[in-house]
Amino acid sequence: MRFKLAAAAAALGLVLAACGGPDTEGSTSTSSGPGDATTTTVEASPAAEEILLSYALAAGDTFVYDVTITQDIAMETTGEGSSFGDEELPGEASVTVTGTGTFTFDVADGPEPGTYSITITSDLTDVTASGIVDGESIDSAETPEFAEIEPVSVTVIVDKQGNIIPESANAEDPLAGLLGGLTEMGPGSVPGTELGQFFGPPFPDDEVALGDTWSDSFETPGFGTEPFSTSISSTVSGTDTVEGFDVLVVESEVAVDPFEFDLGEFFVGLFAGFAPDDATADELAEFDNLVENLRFVMSFDDNRSESTTYFDAAAGITRQFEVTSTSRIGMDVNFPDEATGELSGFVMNMTIDQTVSHQLVEGPSA
């Protein structure tokens, strides 16, 4: 079914939300954030009441958020897809994927004083898809595999300002789970990786007031030798009420520099591990051809997001959180055919526009 490739694109969109979502953070101070050390700049508004923003969590706390996800996926592909089995690659696709469910945050003490270990479990249900693939409407019979998504958990370590500690499980592998999703060309093993963004933006170490802005930039290790850079800017833009609770409205913008990685070397090493010790000259020549021509390049461009967080400063918890993101993903693949072993390839470009809304429904301060 050609729709499965579009479903894989949806999975990649969730991964990109992990890379570009608010995982991280005028006087100037230095603070610790994801990746390398960051510089936090706060531009203060004069004559305004200042407050230190921080998350008030305790070991044993559990917070449950109702979540709605919408993805609009546009895709163009050229080439052959036989390297992924009997799936036929669509030439063009325009698909909308929606899902609802819950994200559960279980809090434990972190490894250092002032840190928390947060296990975040996504349970997405009612996943549906609509759209056009190569001029034909998606058949609802093609979506059941996509809709049956098992709960996925990830654990991160954060401090009281919401900074994710670099030693967290996903901090040095921001595309965790991607290989599993790609080998299946389906989303079952990937949704939930974007949960590493915690439940709101990081806050500065200094007090802030209405109208204040703070910004960070940092580098995160990639699959290759070059890290990729992320910048985030947040502003306390106003006040509001959510379910009767007074909240501060924090607007954040995140941008991730373009980056790419080539999984070709990984696969070459994998294939080499299965090579027989007594390989013939023809088999060695075939392997040399594979090494020379195999490609599995993924590129990420124009990855950005905007979020609005409704933060209850008195309770130290986010009551509502909305994020919209745009990701442009490219794949250039030349891979062994599943049946013949001969190399076949394709080039795919897609744009994913995603909106994720969180609403606190259960917790100590709900």
Q: What is the pLDDT of residues 314-339, one digit of tens each?
A: 999 999 999 888 888 898 888 777 66
Calculate the alpha carbon distances from 218 to 18, 19, 37, 92, 260 in Å. Answer: 15, 12, 7, 36, 17
Residue found by looking up tokens 């669509």 in the block? 90
The enclosing H or E element of 330 equals: strand 317-336
The enclosing H or E element of 43 equals: strand 38-43
Coil vs helix vs strand at 129: strand
Whether the per-residue pLDDT at 240 is higher than 90: the answer is yes
Q: What is the pLDDT of residues 168-195, one digit of tens each?
A: 544 434 333 333 332 222 222 222 234 3
CA distance 23 to 164: 6
> In sequence order, what are the residues at sequence separation of 6 or more whose Cβ sits closer than 8 angstroms to the Cβ of residue 144?
none
> In sequence order, what are the residues at sequence separation of 6 or more whose Cβ sits closer than 8 angstroms to the Cβ of residue 150?
188
Output the pTM of the full model: 0.74
CA distance 255 to 21: 9
Q: Which two tokens stand for residue 111?
A: 């490894």
Segments in the chain forming alpha helices (H): 3-20, 144-147, 178-184, 264-273, 281-293
Q: Chain-wide mean pLDDT for the chain?
A: 74
What's the average model confidence in pLDDT over 109-127?
Answer: 88
Q: What is the pLDDT of residues 273-307, one digit of tens each?
A: 666 777 788 777 777 777 777 888 888 887 888 99
Q: Tell me the pLDDT band of 362, cut-offs 50, 70 and 90.
A: very high
Give backbone dihedrals phi and psi of 349, rounded to 5 degrees, phi first: -130, 135
